[in-house]
Amino acid sequence: MIDILSTVDDEFLSGMELSEEEVYLLSGQLNQERIKEKARQGIVKGTVRQTVRMRPRKMTKWAVGVILAAVLLGGSVAVAHNLDAFRFYLGAKAVIPDEEITDVSKSVSAYGVKMTVDSVIAGENDFVTLLTFELEDGSAFPEGAEFYDINLCMEGNGMNMAVSSARLTEDRKQIVSLIESSSGESLLGREITAKSLGLYTEASRDVNSDISLQECFQQNPTRMEITDSIRDTPWDITLYPDFEQQLIRQLSSFQADLPLKETYPGFGFGGVGIIDGKLNIALYFPAGDEHDPLNELRSEAVIKQLIDSRTVEIHQGSYRVGLPSAIQGMSLNISEFEELDEEDLPYLTPVVTYITRDILAKGPWEITFTVKDQGKNITVSPDMTINVGGEEAVLTEANISLVGGYVVGEWRNRQEPGLPEGYAASLRAVTKDGKMLRFKISAASCFTNQEGDPCFKFNYEIFEDEQKKNRIFLSGDKLAEIKKIIVDDHEFQIN
């Protein structure tokens, strides 16, 4: 690429605009080793050009070529493909310091599939790991293809939390998976294994329902407001349990069957309510065995759409799946429709989406790798006692790293780990110039530490805005600017 840069028509290239996905795919097709070698030669000859013409929100093929050939000072070569891969997944506006991405680039091929650990952004106990999957013959994945039981583990201690999600590229030749993992102890310098057990396809079927949302709501009008104290907490432990209890009272005097009840036994309508002025609808489905890897392949149901009889408009909802339920053996899916409220209920027809999954290939695929400890995190010991529901716990650790932050608590009198009901610690940080960093809670988990004590952990992320659209990963330099960590309202100075 370096050889031909001087011969390319700049004006021609500047008009060739690419989407985020095209940038990512193009960068993956380039010969990275040859680019690195040519770049090194360019340093010696003084011929590497780093001038990039950029237009807001757009990237050209010219820009891609130059970025991939760029060289960092000090002789280390930037592997821009890793950064493109993260931004393909997290969005072009995500703030990701490229110098904090650890390139792994380890692959394994088996059962017709190639799995690659592309790269990692690592905190001390928390990782963001990027995996890619391709079919060995170069063909496209079927529509709706996903890998199941994707996880990270280390010998002698599994992660106490790992959340994975995936995106299929437009040409369907690659599945990009992001794993957000958390452990009760440091992962840096330890051997970590990324694995997936199999590949499946997902199919959906939409069926109109004759359930009257208005009649159901009138049985027990369920309205909840989100207070500031719980707005940024994990709703599955602070908001939804109370919401579900109100819906259960609602269903005690209203019975309705979902369509296809013979095909999907155990599935049920869960009720309707208003949360913060927005319409929410619940459905139940069998939870299955959470310890069975194949449980991820169970069928589900969710209300993704509502048909408005006034305009024949189809309203699309967002939804949270697999929430814990107060009803034993059941899971809860809750759909939210931002633009609809109580006044719209008489005119809405729910559309139930049934989701089924079938196995295409069985693994496992496993790759072991190690990430070096770069010392880029800040930890304080709050030693704060909290009282939740009559039980005492001590907040023992608060940490801020490249990927976000976490707070760990330890129960004083419990024998088993568990999450505190209705409580989540707030986490903030102040930089030396007085800027406040506000962390948004992203997950909660519980575990038993090495001493056998029952613990819980809250994980946090940083975003540029309240809508959580542009995620921020801190650089080592930004971490060094933090002078104060605030847990709830307690301040801890950083020396």
pLDDT digits (tens, 9 = 90+) for 76-114: 333 456 777 787 777 778 888 888 888 899 999 999 999
CA-CA-CA-CA torsion for 43, 44, 46, 48, nearest 10 degrees? -40
Distance CA(305)–CA(312), nearest Å, equals: 12
Domain boundaries, the chain: 2-78, 102-204+361-370, 208-354, 377-493
pLDDT of residue 8 exceeding 60: no
pLDDT of residue 49 exceeding 50: no
pLDDT of residue 40 exceeding 60: no
pLDDT of residue 325 exceeding 90: no
Over residues 159-170, mean pLDDT = 73
C-alpha angle 116/122/123, rounded to 5°? 155
Distance CA(495)–CA(485), nearest Å, equals: 11
What's the pLDDT band for 199 if we cut at 50, 70, 90?
Answer: very high
**Helix, coil or strand: residue 202:** strand
CB 114 within 8 A of CB 134: yes
Q: CA-CA distances (angstroms) from residue 234 to 118, 320, 332, 433?
A: 30, 12, 15, 31
The pLDDT score that the predictor gives to residue 29 is 42
What's the pLDDT band for 138 if we cut at 50, 70, 90?
Answer: very high
What's the pLDDT band for 42 if we cut at 50, 70, 90?
Answer: very low
pLDDT of residue 278 exceeding 70: yes
pLDDT of residue 391 exceeding 80: yes
Over residues 136-153, mean pLDDT = 89
Q: Lowest-confidence range among 75-79, 125-129, 332-336, 401-405?
A: 75-79
Q: Lowest-confidence range among 67-71, 158-162, 404-408?
A: 67-71
Q: Which CATH class is domain 102-204+361-370?
A: mainly beta
The pLDDT score that the predictor gives to residue 465 is 64
pLDDT of residue 185 exceeding 50: yes
Distance CA(360)–CA(377), nearest Å, equals: 41
What's the pLDDT band for 36 if we cut at 50, 70, 90?
Answer: very low
In the DSSP assignment, the letter for residue 169 is -
pLDDT of residue 24 exceeding 50: no
The pLDDT score that the predictor gives to residue 211 is 95
What's the pLDDT band for 297 if we cut at 50, 70, 90?
Answer: confident
Closest by CA position to 165, among listed 182, 154, 155, 151: 151
Spatial CB neighbours of 178, under 8 Å, sequence gap ≥ 6: 89, 90, 128, 129, 130, 131, 164, 165, 166
In the DSSP assignment, the letter for residue 231 is H
Mean pLDDT of the chain: 79
pLDDT of residue 30 exceeding 80: no
What's the pLDDT band for 372 if we cut at 50, 70, 90?
Answer: confident
How does 184-193 read in b/e, with b if 16+ C-beta sit within 10 Å? Answer: beebbeeebb
The pLDDT score that the predictor gives to residue 182 is 77
Spatial CB neighbours of 400, under 8 Å, sequence gap ≥ 6: 377, 378, 427, 429, 439, 474, 479, 482, 485
